[in-house]
Structure 1
Amino acid sequence: MRLKEAARERHTLSVTVDNEAGILARIAGMFSARGYNIESLTVADVTEDESISRITIVTSGAPPVIEQIIAQLDRLVPVHKVTDLTELGPHVERELALVKVAGQGDQRIEALRLADVYRARVIDATTGSFVFEVTGSSEKVDTFIGLMREVGLVEVARTGVVAIARGREAV
C-alpha cells in the first residue's frame, strides 16, 4: 500500500448554514475547485422556521487535507458551524436505500430471506419484483446491495449518509 493511500481517512462533517439559494452550489464548488471529493452529501432544513439547514458531507483525505476542508468551509459567509463528527467522537450515521429486485421462484424466495436478515422492508411488490427499503450503516447498505446483485438487482436509489453526535448537547 502506498503511503498516500494509507494516510487517507474518511470523515463525516456536519455543516450548519443559512438556508438560502446557492449555498449548496458554493460548497460543492469549493470542493471541486480544490480537487476534493464528496463521497456523500445530504441537506435538510433543521429549524421550525426553515432558516437553517444542516449539510452532512462525507469526504476522505489525509489529516491536513481534512483540516483545510474544515477551515475553508468555516470561511464561507453563510456557514454557521462546521463540526467534524469523526473527530468529535461517538456519533450515529445512517443511510437509506431503495433496492428494486426482480425474480421468480427460488430467486424471489432468496431475496425475501436476505431482506429479512438485513431487516429490509418490502415497500412495493408485484408478481415479478420487489422494492426493499434498507437502512443502516453504509457498509450494511453496500452488503445488502451486493447480495441482491446475485438474486436479480434491477435498480438502487440511495440517500447518502445522515449523521448526528451522540449525547445531550447539540453540536
Structure 2
Amino acid sequence: MLHTLAVLVENYPGVLIRVAGLFARRGYNIDSLTVCQTEDPEVSRMTIVVNGDNQIIEQVRNQLSKLVIVHSVTDLTGESVVDRELALIRVEVSAETRSVVLQTVEVFRGRVVDMGRSNITIELTGDIAKIDAFVYAIRPYGLLELVRTGKIAILRSEV
C-alpha cells in the first residue's frame, strides 16, 4: 500500500541525503519525493510516498523521528487531504493529430506551454490518477517526453 508521509525537517544542506539514506539503508524504495521550504525559512517539508504495510511505515516513522534534523512525521494516508502533482508532457503531433491532441488537453484541463511544428508541450496538474489517465490517453499519438514532480499533499481544512 502506498503511504504519503509529510516530514518537517531542518532547512540546510545535507538533510535530504540523510533522510534518503535512511530509506536506502533499510531497503525501502521511495516512489515519490518532493522537498520545499515552508512558510518558516528554517524548515523544509518533505512529501514522501513509500510503498509498505502499516508495520513497515511505522518503523520508517520511528526511524525518521529519531533524527535530530526531523521536527515531525505525519502519515497522511487515510486522512482527508488535497494532493496534486505537476507534469510536463511533450507529445508528437502532425497536421492530422494536432486538433485531437489539443482537444484531449482541453478535456483534462491541461495547458499548452510550448508548441512547435512537430510537437507540443503540455502542463497538467491534478491527482496522480488524472495524470496517469492523460498519459494513457495521449500515448498513442506519440509520447516524446514526460516529467513529473511527484506528489504534494496538505490536510484539508476543517469545516
Question: Do the structures match in fold with TM over 0.5?
Answer: yes
Q: Which residue of 2 is the match for residue 98 of structure 1?
A: 88
Give the match's secondary structure for 1:132.
strand
Which letter does structure 2 place at the counterpart of 1:37? N
CA contact (8 A) 1:98 1:133 kept: yes
Corresponding position: 1:26 with 2:28: no
CA contact (8 A) 1:108 1:151 kept: no
- Supply the distance in 2 between the matched residues of 1:106 and 1:163 (Cα, whole angstroms): 39
4+ aligned runs moved over 6 Å, structure 1: none
1:73 to 58, 64, 68: 64
Give the match's secondary structure for 2:141.
coil
Note the C-alpha offset of 1:106. 2.5
Corresponding position: 1:132 with 2:122: yes
Corresponding position: 1:84 with 2:75: yes
Gaps of 5+ in 2: none
2:30 to 23, 26, 38: 38
1:100-129 Cα distance to aligned partner (Å, 9 max, x none): 011112321111111111001001111221
CA contact (8 A) 1:38 1:59 kept: yes
Q: Trace 1:136-155 onto structure 2 (pairs within 5 A).
A: 136-155=126-145
Structure 1 length as normaliser, TM-score? 0.89
Number of residue pairs matched by the alignment: 158
Which letter does structure 2 place at the counterpart of 1:13? L
Percent identical residues: 45
Gaps of 5+ in 1: 1-8
